[in-house]
Amino acid sequence: MTVTLTDQPFEPGALVTAFCVGREETGAVATFVGLARAEKGQAVALELEAYPGFTDAAIGEIVQGAVTRFQLHDVQVVHRVGRIAPGEAIVFVATAAGHRREAFEACDFLMDYLKSRAPFWKKEHGLGGARWIEPTDRDRTDAERWD
């Protein structure tokens, strides 16, 4: 299980390749990659602030919950912080399980929790200035469906 916060762009394909190495008992790996949207040219950049030591610990707890719930063999989460340009990857989630259903569902579960409950502060830099963003009602209800 690894959780990484990085202020550097990452290449999702290389992460998937490395994650799949040496898994003779894992029948399924599911991955999710979240990208920063350009919002039809309105978004200049996304800025994500984390609290090192607190944010990664909170994500670690979410990951532990997923491992127990879906009987996962492994999980990797990589999350960008700092300034992110449209088109760049913000988040990478990989789940490894014996069979595909658990891997798919755990990936979905992790993203719903990360989107609503991970301690990040997000600022959207647009053509008209910058604004702080709070979770949408949709983000909250997406996480509640797992309760």
Give the angle 16-62-130 at the CA atoms, nearest 5°: 80
Minimal distance, residue 121 CB to another protein, in Å? 3
Verify binding: residue 118, another protein, rule CB under 8 A: yes
Verify binding: residue 146, another protein, rule CB under 8 A: no
Minimal distance, residue 19 CB to another protein, in Å? 19
DSSP tag of 81: -
Q: Structure tokens of 129?
A: 């200035």
Could you say which of 12, 34, 65, 98 contacts another protein (CB under 8 A)? Answer: 34
CA distances 136 to 3, 19, 69, 92, Å, are: 24, 31, 25, 21
Closer residue to another protein (CB): 17 or 132: 132
Could you say which of 37, 71, 85, 132 contacts another protein (CB under 8 A)? Answer: 132
- Say if residues 104 and 47 touch (Cβ distance below 8 Å): no
Binding mask 62-101 for another protein (x = CB under 8 A): -----------------x----------xx----------
| Cα 118 to Cα 97: distance, rounded to the nearest angstrom | 23
